[in-house]
Amino acid sequence: MNGAGLSSRIAETAARLLSEGRAEVVIGFEQGSIPMRATPCLITDSADAGRLIWNAFCSNNLAKYLVPGRKSAIVAKGCDSRAIVELVKERRLKREDVVVIGVPCRGMADPSAIAKRFPGICVSSVDETDGMLTLHGGPEPVSVPVSEVLHASCRLCAAKNPVICDIPLGDPVVENDPGFPDVEAFAALPADERCARVEAEMSKCLRCYACRSACPLCTCESCFADSSQPQWVARGTHPEDVLAFHVMRAMHLAGRCVECGACARACPTGVDLSIFNRRLAADVAELFGSRAGLDENAPQPLAAYSMDDSQDFILDPGRNSE
Amino acid sequence: MTDTDKNAAWEPRIVAFLCNWCSYAGADSAGVGRMQYPASVRVIRVPCAGRINPFFILSAFRRGADGVLVSGCHPGDCHYISGNLGARRKFALLGRLLGHLGLEEGRLHFTWVSASEGVRFAEVIETVTAKVRELGPARRSAGGGR
């Protein structure tokens, strides 16, 4: 099914849920104010449901907009549903308060990848049919498959179909978990080069906290980064403070990060935060056999322990010291 | 003064986070037993290995530590039943993450030392000091420490 068909089914579903009183609000996407953007929107009146759309630019993680205690319906692709699973586990949300309108996702298109691919064109409008984008705005319309201009996180997606779903819309897509090739590639670099890459990424950070604001799992009511007593990290862009902020944020998300890439997409300077989060996700998978958001019943790995956990890293003089 | 001379004069600074119930008592027992070990460690006593926020470790490095050691009770011996087991998961991830970001292997160590293991405590300090000495002074990031 193409985007237009799904858009109208989402709108119908939303109107029905609102008029039947099953939800006070429907969280979905509407057309953004510029081409190649869809923007999150909250629909509370069934008459407005026609604003809802579905296309290849619905990249935000909408789980961020769920509020505890408010009966909400949410248009959820794989990554949004993974975030909902984690939020329910953490008792930030009650499962019965959320109606998940599940939409399978083949990955979302990255406007900056499109701009890079067609540098001369200022896109004025986009048509989408069967995974092909046709871009208008240049002398001639040009076409590109969505699969060639995906967001980095979408290329590495482990759950294209919603993990939990109350109202499934659209046909399920084939799952193809690529594992962690990005983590392996980075880990294969010499330590000096990794250091330099991390330093270069950190030097771009403005400490605007857009990553934190976009992250569906950054749910703390007060963040360590805002604390002045104790002041864990100073404000400002001193390289060590920036690095400490990102390491600590990644640690807080360890085993919880659903790898949706919302942080990296929200970043105004394009800091590659996957260096931190994907490494932790890979280690959590390897060490604790757990992947955030994929299993409703599995405990969160850092809220659990086992006597048999690996401890190869524990220094044991006389046995592994030499 | 050549670099070799400088390194010969240089003593590593190692921050050791020791849990109150086992490792700190283990350090005590090394002292009571008059065991010799390098005077390179600065001990910080914490209630439990589970008390250690990864941030403590980052802060130690930022403030000029050349190495960091974290030591708690052996699995099964925790005074709070499972503080060290939860910490073990956290430490496994933190150690790998910092290595991934470029921290040299050998700067950050985790171990278990019980209250009666004064000998083991001395051995741990010897081992950690030797590894950090081999690596030399910690690289300061741009802008320096404070």
Q: What is the residue extent of each domain of chain A?
A: 3-108+158-168, 181-303
Among the partner residues B89, B97, B145, nearest to A305 by beta-carbon distance:
B89
Has residue B102 been placed in a domain? yes
Q: Could you read off the pLDDT of A108-150 as tens digits, one per residue? A: 999 999 999 999 899 999 999 989 999 999 899 999 999 999 9
Has residue B130 been placed in a domain? yes
Please answer yes or no on whether B102 and A309 come within 8 Å at the CB atom. Answer: no
Whether B94 shows a pLDDT value over 80: the answer reads yes
- The pLDDT of residue B139 is 76
- Three-state SS at A133: strand
Whether omega for the bond prior to residue A141 falls within 30 degrees of 0, making it cis, is: no
Among the partner residues B86, B123, B141, nearest to A318 by beta-carbon distance:
B123
Whether B144 shows a pLDDT value over 60: the answer reads no
Q: In 3D, which of A274, A103, A281, A311 has the Cα closest to residue B84?
A: A311
- The pLDDT of residue B145 is 42
Please determine, for the modelled complex, whether the ipTM score is greater than 0.90. yes
H-type alpha helices, A90-179: 111-117, 152-155
Which domain, by its residues, includes B35? 14-135
- Contact criterion met (CB below 8 Å) for A100 and A162: yes
The CATH number that applies at residue B105 is 3.40.50
Q: Could you read off the pLDDT of A296-320 as tens digits, one per residue? A: 999 999 999 999 999 999 999 877 5
Please answer yes or no on whether A279 and B100 come within 8 Å at the CB atom. Answer: yes
More confident residue, B4 or B51: B51
- The pLDDT of residue A322 is 44
Q: Could you read off the pLDDT of A191-247 as tens digits, one per residue? A: 999 999 999 999 999 999 999 999 999 999 999 999 999 889 999 999 999 999 999
Whether A179 shows a pLDDT value over 70: the answer reads yes
Has residue B64 been placed in a domain? yes
Which residue of chain B has the CA closest to A277? Answer: B97
Residue linked to tokens 């171990």: B111
| Numbered residues of chain B with Cβ closer than 8 Å to any chain A Cβ | 54-55, 58-59, 62, 75-76, 82, 85-86, 88-98, 100-102, 104, 109-112, 120, 123-124, 126-128, 139, 141-143, 145
Q: Is the pTM of this model over 0.90?
A: yes
Average pLDDT, stretch A258-266? 96
Please answer yes or no on whether A310 and B86 come within 8 Å at the CB atom. Answer: no
- The pLDDT of residue A317 is 87
Whether B88 shows a pLDDT value over 60: the answer reads yes
- The pLDDT of residue B4 is 61
B108-112, strands of its sheet edge to edge: A314-315, B108-112, B67-72, B14-19, B41-46
Has residue B6 been placed in a domain? no
Cα A225 to Cα A134: distance, rounded to the nearest angstrom:
43
Report the residue of A180, A205, A223, A251 to disrupt the B interface, i.e. the one with the largest count of B CBs within 10 Å: A251
Whether A2 shows a pLDDT value over 60: the answer reads no
Number of structural domains found in chain B: 1
Count, residues in chain B: 146
Confidence band (pLDDT; 50, 70, 90) for A270?
Answer: very high
- The pLDDT of residue A306 is 95
- The pLDDT of residue B2 is 59
Please answer yes or no on whether B141 and A280 come within 8 Å at the CB atom. Answer: no
Sequence-distant (6+) residues with CB within 8 A of A145 are: A131, A132, A133
Q: In 3D, which of A191, A167, A158 has the Cα closest to residue A285?
A: A158
Q: Could you read off the pLDDT of B7-19 as tens digits, one per residue? A: 668 899 999 999 9
- The pLDDT of residue A3 is 64
Nearest CA-CA distance, residue B9 and chain A, Å: 25
Q: Could you read off the pLDDT of B13-69 as tens digits, one per residue? A: 999 999 999 999 999 999 999 999 999 999 999 999 999 999 999 999 999 999 999
Confidence band (pLDDT; 50, 70, 90) for A285?
Answer: very high
Percent above pLDDT 90 for chain B: 86
With b meaning 16 or more CB within 10 Å and e meaning fewer, what string describes B118-136?
Answer: bbbbbbbbbbbbebbbeee
Q: Could you read off the pLDDT of A6-58 as tens digits, one per residue? A: 999 999 999 999 999 999 999 999 999 999 999 999 999 999 999 999 999 99
